[in-house]
Every structure is written in structure tokens, then in C-alpha cells.
Chains A and B, each alone.
Chain A
């Protein structure tokens, strides 16, 4: 009937046995189409079935088609086509769901593993590159994940922490404070409001000198004074003893104390401590309980990050209802009824606040508002953590690109191996399995390395992190995280090897041998794409890193108004002394400290720079030239600091005009120094010396003007400052001491302790730190962010450089023959070198171009972390781009130089 049918057949009986005996190679276009159709249908079957049976199936269909054509012509052929379609639709998916044979997927794993291991041993560079990349990249990711998870995500260790809220008062109707403490009466009012507010606790921070410990010098500890319901409200109970009973608060309460696990350890970790007595500021307190190791609680502060955790808890010995409504010094912690929505709690607190405002403040608008505990705790750390988290994510992407590149190169190298293996009849499935096994094994190794690295790196990072980082002490790589890291490593290994594996499975022998002949092609493009992506991502990371580092460097160089180097600072609490006693004691102590060898100056004051613990008061200067005449603006809220002679000298705060406090106080007049801000404000162009100022209604005479020594942040001025002489009627008992020395400040500590003992053995010394350490600690968040981002961006840069190196190196190898030919035809070496370099440069340029929008995003995200640097800082951005380009070009140049070694004659001969 047709050409296709012409060759078919033979005698009927013969056909029965042998089928149509002719080879499939002949046959016209109709037969070709038929074969194409059957091959297409075969795609419905799973790959391993195709591998095993595909050719036989197609051959059988062809035989059937030939017979059909012989019997019934074209309509019969169409019948076979249709029937084959129905057959494939039924059996293909069925085979996928329910394989006839679990082929050799479950094959000989032990032998495969052995082969993979042997292969890996023969490629140590590849193994090192893979495992090293994974260890570094995943390790970094694990560290970031740990920190972000523990700080931002992990639930707080209280019962239903989502139902806990802090309540703040907005004082802005009075003065510039949007978030201040509440009054004791507010807490009482909130507790009585009922409804969705189940319970309210009030908290006040205090410092006490802990004594009565045999063999231990007195030490200052941090207390939280609280209503007795605190532990019940949080839903925690002490591990030893008990918490406060409902009656253990208010006037005449028994003096009882609950210790934290940390303080209990410091006191010797005695399990029988319950019932013992300790002395706080000389008063006996009975220990009734010890909190668990996992218990962590901090009082949130109105301004700045949450306070440092306390050492012990005592209950109020007075009635909150009897306190003054104007005395705002209580932090209020509310537990809402379980499951109440945030909005309802917020509106309830606001409503109570309005009643109080009407009753106590004549409706001035001092509103109360609630903030959920979790978000409030992390509010300060969040911007930095978000940036670092994003950076970690980007690094992971760069890492993935690198892994895939490595494995693609590996697959490329093994092309011939695959081809030969397939030619020798190796099962495609077995090749896939081996490739996946290799990836998974390497991933597992890298993941394990990363887990170990992460444990150490996290410890190092926590050391760098600010002491106020929320839940700092809980930040460590735990078992679940380590397991996740190892599993992620294995998964990444599998994923990265999936591409080469699929490729190994699909390629037919002919195309493999073909590809081995003309290397590169599609996968070369893929690799280039990876490198471009790496360059782009690195640019983003480097920008973020560069900006943060530059901001940090600005911070380091910023002038805080005092000389930190060479000063030791500490506090000596004397709260239980009378003013007169304290004055005498302070005088004696200062003299004793001055006698220490190597000490050049000693001073004392009520507030130390960077601690922010000064009092504030209203200041006015009647008759000053700078007055505007408007009483509103001529009264300023200033930081007031009680100061003893020697303070400015000991801290290196420069005197700009007049003199500092003389050793002897003059009679009948209160001396004061003002800072440059106040001098400019009230005495522009004239001298402030001798002027009379009013500090909270008390007159003082200005004897000098000093630099503004930053009380809060290293990088920003605070409120204007007034220093008054700590003497006579104006004595603060507990003062900070600054000791300037030519020695290493830290080495002074034993001498200082001895000096204090000579004055009074009952005095504690607290917060002992060289001033330089204080500066460093106030920058610790920025330092940690800068360190992490630098590490990440340099890591990304390194990975990108490795990628470029690989691409260019591969390109030189691949084009060796071509390049040799061109050299032979007269091109000189520099020109060919330039061309190879140009190839790399194009990739870099493309990456930088693609990364540009990312740079914009990096600026937006890091904005909140930057001090004194614009996110579009031209110097930083161009330095980053130039640096990236330089490193990238170098990564191209090194392998490209191999071009110079090509000798056309020998290269061409060897091909």
C-alpha cells in the first residue's frame, strides 16, 4: 500500500514468531512520525521505566504499526496511534504511582557509598571547596538564625507571654517625655478596673549593698521591688522555696527576699539557703525562694533598652494607694485575660487612663497606653537584627549559587566518565543515585562542620553583643538548631547535586559524547548566570557592610566630650548615710583614692557620662542676654549633676572658661558650672562667669563653663548640663568616682578596694569599669553589627571571586585550542589576554548593574543603623564598587594569565 508497508512482513507463519523482521532504520516519513509519536508517549512513563524498557516498547509499537499499515493502510496506522495514546495514558501514570519494579532505586547502597567515597578521595580540592563553602556559609547562617530566633521569635519563658503588657504614661502634655513611668496609684486603679485586665504588678528598680556574707566584701546588687503578685502574674514559681504570698506586701510586711539563680550561685549555691538571713543595706532579710536557671525577667525602661536583669526581688513595704499620683516611678506590668486581642487591652488601658487624667491631672491629657511585652522587649534590637538577618539570607543565596557552580563544574569534569559508564551499560538510575549520594554526603559533612562552627561563633558573638541585648544569656546553638543545620546541609547538597544528576540521567550516549567534544554550551551559560548573581548579591552585602562599618568608624572617632583613656570609674553606694555623714565619708574616700600610686586626679559626681543616670531639673537664668522674654522657652529641662572637686580633671572634661570647683567650698553660695550648650543659649557672645542661675528654684553662681560630656550616647549630645557642688545642703550620697592614672586603669582595682576598706569596711564598690570599656560597651551593638556584616560581605566577596576564578579558568581551558590558533594567526598575547579578561569584566559589569537596585534597598534597610553616614554616602558606595571590581578583576586576571603561557605550536599539536 505504501513505501512504509513495502518492506514489512514475509510469510504469515514467520511473522508469528519473529515479528516483522526488518530493522526500524528504514521506513519513510510516516514511520519516522510514528516513532516520534511513540517516543513522545513514552514521556508519560517515569524515567527509570523509560531507561529500562523504553527502546523495547518503541520497537514493539513500531512493529505493530508496520503490521497495521500492511493490514489496513493509513486508517489502521491511526488506530494504532490512538490505541497507543490510550495505552500510555493508562499505564504511564499508573507506573509512576505504582511502579512494576522498584527498579534499582533501592540498590546496593553500601557499594555505591564506597564508590562515591573513593571518587571523593580522588578529588580533595572539590571536597574541600564544597565542605568549606558549606561550613562557612551555613555556619554564618546558623549563627544569625540562632540570634534572630532566640531574640525575636522564641516565646518568652512565661505562661501565655502574649497576654502580658507594659503600661506607660505619655507626659508630653507636661514635658517632653512620651514614654514615662506610671504612678503607684495608676497601678491600683488599673488593678481595680477588672474586665480584661486580670492582674497588675508594679516594679521599681533599686540598688542595695549586700552584706553579711562571711569572707566576702560587701557588694552592690540590683533589686526589683514589686507587688507580691509578680511571679503569679508571670506564671513562674521558684525552684527552691516559694514566691511572695498575697499578704507579703505593704506596710509592716515581713522582710523577705527571693533570689535569682545567679545570685544564689554567687552566694555558694546552697540548697538549704531558704530560711537564711542576708543583709541588704544592713537590714536583715529572710530568703524565701530561689528562682530557676531559666527564669529571666527585666524591667523595661521608659527611655533606652530594657534594664539589666536584677539579682533579687523584694516586695514593697508601703501601700501603693498611698503614694502621690504625681510620683511617676513605677513600671506597670499587666496580665490580660487569656486570648484578649491587643486592641481590646489597649483601649481598656486608655479608658482607665482617661479617668485618672480627669481625676489627678485636671484632664491635661496625660494618657496611659499599653505595649505588648514581646515587641517592647526587642524594639531596640530589632533594626540591627533585621539587617543582620537579611544579610545572612543573602549570604546563603550566594552560597547556594557557589555550590551549584561547583557541582556543575564537577558534572562537566565527569562528562566523559558518565559517557563511558553509560556506554559500558551502567544504569542511568545508578548514576543519578551516585550523584545524589555524593551531594548528600558532602552536604552532611558541610552541615556538621557548620554546626560545630556555629556553636563557637555564637559564643564569640554573644561576647561581642551588648549586655542589654534582650535574652542575651539564652543565645546559644542548641540541639534542635544543630540538627536543622546538619539537615539543611544535607538538603542543600542534594539540591545542588540534583541538576547534574538529572542531567546525568537524561543525556543519551550520543549527546554526551558530543557534549564532551564541544564543551561548555548551556551549562557554561548557567555558570555565568550564577557568577553574575553572586557579584550582584555581593555588591548589596558589601554596600550594607561598608555603610555600617563607616558609621561605626565615625562613632569610634566621635568626640564624646571627655577623655576615656586612662580613667577607672566606679560607684560607691552610701544611701543609708545621712547627708552630713556621706559628705565626710566622700571627702575621706577621695583623699584615700588620691594616695594610690600612679593616680593623677580623683573626682566624684552623681552621674557618669554614658550611664544616663542623672536627675533632671528646670533651669532658668533671670536677666541673661540670651533670654527671649518668653517664659516657656526661657525655662529648660536640664541634666543636673552633683559634683565634687576633681571631676573634670579626672575625666578629662575640658574647661572652656573660668575655673572648676576649688578643693574648699566657699561659704554661703552654691557654685555651679554650665556646659557649652547653656553658655551659648543664655550668654551668646558674652561671658557666663559670675551669673546667677536658678536650678529648680535654687540659686547658684556660675564659676565656669565646660565641654558637653555626653551622658547618654557616644554619638549624640543630650540635654544641656549643669554641675553643682556636692556639698553642705546639696549632697547626693551615692556618687560615681573617676580616677585618672598613668597605670593601666584595670590594675588599680585592688588598690581601690583597699582604699575603700581604709575608709569603711562596710562600703561596697559597684560598676567598676575602665572608662574606655564603657565607651566600647556603649558601641557594642554597632560593633557586633559591623563585625557580622563585614564578615558576611567579605564572605560573599570571596565566594563571588571564587566563582569568577572558576569561570575564567574554565574558559581558558576550554578555549585553549581556539586561543592558540589565534595566537598562531598573529594575535599577540596581550590582546588575547585582554579578550579573556574582557569576558570576566562583562560578567562583573552585568552583576554590578543588576545589583544597583539592591544597593538602594540595602541603603533603605540599614538606614536605621547608621550614625553620621547617609545611606547614599558617595565615598562608601564608590569605594565598595571599586573594591568589588578590583577584587573581581583580580580573580579573573590570575587564571587569565595562563593565556600567556600558551605556546601556539605545542598547543595546536597536542589537540
Chain B
């Protein structure tokens, strides 16, 4: 029952914008600050502009998908703000991932993806 409601609540945020999925993906691995998220995305082969990222961070914080972490910077810049996933954010990230998985499967069945490709 609870799970059901959570899933329904989570699916209402779908589909996510690419930048939002990147944020969730990064934060799923642990707390990150803005530049860390950008670097993660670059490692996945995508560039995110700083303005785009921070607008997304603001929006997602307001939506309750992520939240500010108390402070992750022992030695870093004191202006640096760290973020982490909320429970809702985690659910939304999972829901988006399975949505994408369905799409990927469909793409493969449709012959758009070579067999075995990621």
C-alpha cells in the first residue's frame, strides 16, 4: 500500500529532464556539490552548463527530490554547497531508470540497438 503510493507519487515526476536524471544519478552514489555533479556527468559523456545545473538543483530542492547536506566540506571552500538524495528522490530516480529500461528494451526489439549494446 505504502509502496504503491510512493510509486505513484514518484511516477508523477516523470519523465525527468536529462539534467535532473544526471543529478539523481550522481547523488545516488553519495553527497556531491555542484561541480562534482558536473564532473560525474562529463564522465558519462555529457556536458551540463552551470546555470542549467543550479536552476535544476533549486527546482529539485523545492520539489523535495534532493536536499542540502549539512556540510561536506572539511577542507574545501566554505561557499561550497553539498546535496544528497531524499527518499522521494531515490524513488523518482528508480522510476525513471525503469522507464528508461523499458524504452531501451523496446528500442532493442525495434532493431534500433544492436544486440548486447548497453
Query: A residues bordering B, Cβ < 8 Å?
Result: 15-24, 45, 49, 52-53, 55-61, 63-64, 83-84, 86-88, 90-92, 94-95, 100-102
- Supposing A24-B77, A52-B58 touch, asked if A19 and B39 sit within 8 A by C-beta, the answer is yes
Expressed in whole angstroms, the Cα–Cα distance for A621 and B38 within the complex equals 113
B56 within 8 A of A: yes
**Which one of A59, A87, A101 contacts B77 once the chains associate, using CB atoms below 8 Å?**
A59
Q: Which 3 A-B pairs have the closest CB atoms?
A: A91-B51, A100-B59, A87-B49
Chain B neighbourhood of A19, CB < 8 A: 33, 35-36, 39, 76, 80
**Which one of A15, A63, A87, A101 contacts B51 once the chains associate, using CB atoms below 8 Å?**
A87
**Which one of B35, B61, B75 contacts A60 once the chains associate, using CB atoms below 8 Å?**
B35
Complex contact B51–A64 (CB within 8 A): no
Expressed in whole angstroms, the Cα–Cα distance for A143 and B65 within the complex equals 57
**Which one of A16, A18, A84, A100 contacts B76 once the chains associate, using CB atoms below 8 Å?**
A18
Known: A57-B54, A87-B50, A87-B51. 19 other contacts (CB 8 A): A16-B43, A19-B33, A19-B35, A21-B75, A22-B77, A56-B54, A56-B81, A59-B77, A59-B79, A59-B80, A60-B33, A61-B50, A86-B49, A87-B52, A91-B49, A91-B51, A100-B58, A101-B59, A101-B62
Chain B neighbourhood of A55, CB < 8 A: 79
B interface: dominant SS: helix
Q: How far is the CB of A185 from chain B (nearest CB, A)?
A: 84
**Which one of A15, A24, A56 contacts B39 once the chains associate, using CB atoms below 8 Å?**
A15
Contact residues of B between 41 and 69, Cβ < 8 Å to A: 43, 49-59, 61-62
Q: Report which residue of B36, B40, B49, B79 has the largest number of chain A beta carbons within 10 angstroms of its beta carbon.
A: B79
Question: Can you list 23 A-B contacts with CB-CB less than 8 angstroms, sorted by A residue number?
Answer: A16-B39, A16-B40, A19-B33, A19-B36, A19-B76, A19-B80, A23-B77, A23-B78, A55-B79, A56-B79, A59-B34, A60-B33, A60-B34, A60-B35, A60-B54, A84-B50, A86-B49, A87-B52, A95-B55, A100-B55, A100-B56, A100-B58, A100-B62
Chain A neighbourhood of B58, CB < 8 A: 49, 52-53, 100-101
Chain A neighbourhood of B81, CB < 8 A: 56
A interface: dominant SS: helix
Chain B neighbourhood of A90, CB < 8 A: 49, 51-52
Q: Report which residue of B35, B58, B81 has the largest number of chain A beta carbons within 10 angstroms of its beta carbon.
A: B35
Complex contact A18–B36 (CB within 8 A): yes
Chain B neighbourhood of A61, CB < 8 A: 50
Chain A neighbourhood of B54, CB < 8 A: 53, 56-57, 60
- Supposing A19-B76, A59-B77 touch, asked if A92 and B51 sit within 8 A by C-beta, the answer is yes
Chain B neighbourhood of A56, CB < 8 A: 33-34, 54, 79-81
Expressed in whole angstroms, the Cα–Cα distance for A734 and B61 within the complex equals 92
Q: Residue of A at shortest CB range from B39?
A: A16
Expressed in whole angstroms, the Cα–Cα distance for A662 and B55 within the complex equals 105
Chain B neighbourhood of A101, CB < 8 A: 58-59, 61-62
Q: How far is the CB of B10 from chain A (nearest CB, A)?
A: 20
Q: How far is the CB of B108 from chain A (nearest CB, A)?
A: 31
Chain B neighbourhood of A17, CB < 8 A: 36
Expressed in whole angstroms, the Cα–Cα distance for A83 and B42 within the complex equals 15
Expressed in whole angstroms, the Cα–Cα distance for A18 and B58 within the complex equals 21
Query: B residues bordering A, Cβ < 8 Å?
Result: 33-36, 38-40, 43, 49-59, 61-62, 75-81
Expressed in whole angstroms, the Cα–Cα distance for A20 and B52 within the complex equals 21
Complex contact B51–A88 (CB within 8 A): yes
**Which one of B49, B53, B76 contacts A23 once the chains associate, using CB atoms below 8 Å?**
B76
Expressed in whole angstroms, the Cα–Cα distance for A87 and B52 within the complex equals 8
Q: How far is the CB of A98 from chain B (nearest CB, A)?
A: 9
Chain A neighbourhood of B35, CB < 8 A: 19-20, 59-60, 63-64
Q: Report which residue of A45, A87, A100 has the largest number of chain B beta carbons within 10 angstroms of its beta carbon.
A: A100
Chain B neighbourhood of A18, CB < 8 A: 36, 76
Q: How far is the CB of A96 from chain B (nearest CB, A)?
A: 11
Complex contact A91–B55 (CB within 8 A): yes
Q: Report which residue of A45, A60, A84 has the largest number of chain B beta carbons within 10 angstroms of its beta carbon.
A: A60
Expressed in whole angstroms, the Cα–Cα distance for A330 and B51 within the complex equals 81
Expressed in whole angstroms, the Cα–Cα distance for A394 and B81 within the complex equals 53
Expressed in whole angstroms, the Cα–Cα distance for A84 and B54 within the complex equals 13
Expressed in whole angstroms, the Cα–Cα distance for A90 and B75 within the complex equals 33
Expressed in whole angstroms, the Cα–Cα distance for A63 and B40 within the complex equals 14
Chain B neighbourhood of A95, CB < 8 A: 51, 55
Expressed in whole angstroms, the Cα–Cα distance for A21 and B75 within the complex equals 7
- Supposing A95-B55, A101-B58, A101-B62 touch, asked if A60 and B50 sit within 8 A by C-beta, the answer is yes
Expressed in whole angstroms, the Cα–Cα distance for A409 and B118 within the complex equals 67
Chain B neighbourhood of A91, CB < 8 A: 49, 51-52, 55
Q: Report which residue of A21, A57, A94 has the largest number of chain B beta carbons within 10 angstroms of its beta carbon.
A: A57
Expressed in whole angstroms, the Cα–Cα distance for A88 and B79 within the complex equals 20
Expressed in whole angstroms, the Cα–Cα distance for A87 and B55 within the complex equals 12
Complex contact B76–A21 (CB within 8 A): yes
Q: Residue of A at shortest CB range from B75?
A: A21
Expressed in whole angstroms, the Cα–Cα distance for A20 and B34 within the complex equals 12
Chain A neighbourhood of B34, CB < 8 A: 56-57, 59-60
Complex contact B38–A60 (CB within 8 A): yes
Complex contact A83–B79 (CB within 8 A): no
Q: How far is the CB of B35 from chain A (nearest CB, A)?
A: 4
Expressed in whole angstroms, the Cα–Cα distance for A423 and B96 within the complex equals 40
Expressed in whole angstroms, the Cα–Cα distance for A92 and B36 within the complex equals 22
Chain A neighbourhood of B78, CB < 8 A: 23
Complex contact A53–B77 (CB within 8 A): no
Chain B neighbourhood of A53, CB < 8 A: 54, 57-58
Q: Residue of A at shortest CB range from B78?
A: A23
Complex contact B51–A57 (CB within 8 A): yes
Expressed in whole angstroms, the Cα–Cα distance for A163 and B40 within the complex equals 78
Expressed in whole angstroms, the Cα–Cα distance for A17 and B75 within the complex equals 13
Q: How far is the CB of A589 from chain B (nearest CB, A)?
A: 92
Q: How far is the CB of B33 from chain A (nearest CB, A)?
A: 7
Chain A neighbourhood of B52, CB < 8 A: 87, 90-91
Q: How far is the CB of A41 from chain B (nearest CB, A)?
A: 9
Expressed in whole angstroms, the Cα–Cα distance for A652 and B79 within the complex equals 94
Q: How far is the CB of A754 from chain B (nearest CB, A)?
A: 88
Expressed in whole angstroms, the Cα–Cα distance for A92 and B57 within the complex equals 15
Q: Residue of B at shortest CB range from A17?
A: B36
Q: How far is the CB of A92 from chain B (nearest CB, A)?
A: 7
Q: How far is the CB of A807 from chain B (nearest CB, A)?
A: 41
Q: Report which residue of B50, B54, B61, B75 has the largest number of chain A beta carbons within 10 angstroms of its beta carbon.
A: B50
Q: Report which residue of A17, A21, A64, A83 has the largest number of chain B beta carbons within 10 angstroms of its beta carbon.
A: A17
Q: How far is the CB of B89 from chain A (nearest CB, A)?
A: 16
Chain B neighbourhood of A60, CB < 8 A: 33-35, 38, 50, 53-54
Chain B neighbourhood of A83, CB < 8 A: 49
Chain A neighbourhood of B56, CB < 8 A: 100
Chain A neighbourhood of B62, CB < 8 A: 100-102
Q: Residue of B at shortest CB range from A83?
A: B49
Q: How far is the CB of B27 from chain A (nearest CB, A)?
A: 13
Expressed in whole angstroms, the Cα–Cα distance for A363 and B57 within the complex equals 91
Chain A neighbourhood of B40, CB < 8 A: 16
Q: How far is the CB of B97 from chain A (nearest CB, A)?
A: 22
Expressed in whole angstroms, the Cα–Cα distance for A313 and B34 within the complex equals 86
Q: How far is the CB of A40 from chain B (nearest CB, A)?
A: 14
Q: Residue of B at shortest CB range from A80?
A: B50
Chain A neighbourhood of B49, CB < 8 A: 83, 86-87, 90-91
Chain A neighbourhood of B33, CB < 8 A: 19, 56, 60
Q: How far is the CB of A514 from chain B (nearest CB, A)?
A: 21
Expressed in whole angstroms, the Cα–Cα distance for A198 and B49 within the complex equals 74
Expressed in whole angstroms, the Cα–Cα distance for A188 and B34 within the complex equals 91
Q: Report which residue of A20, A56, A59 has the largest number of chain B beta carbons within 10 angstroms of its beta carbon.
A: A56
Q: Residue of A at shortest CB range from B49?
A: A87
Chain A neighbourhood of B77, CB < 8 A: 22-24, 59
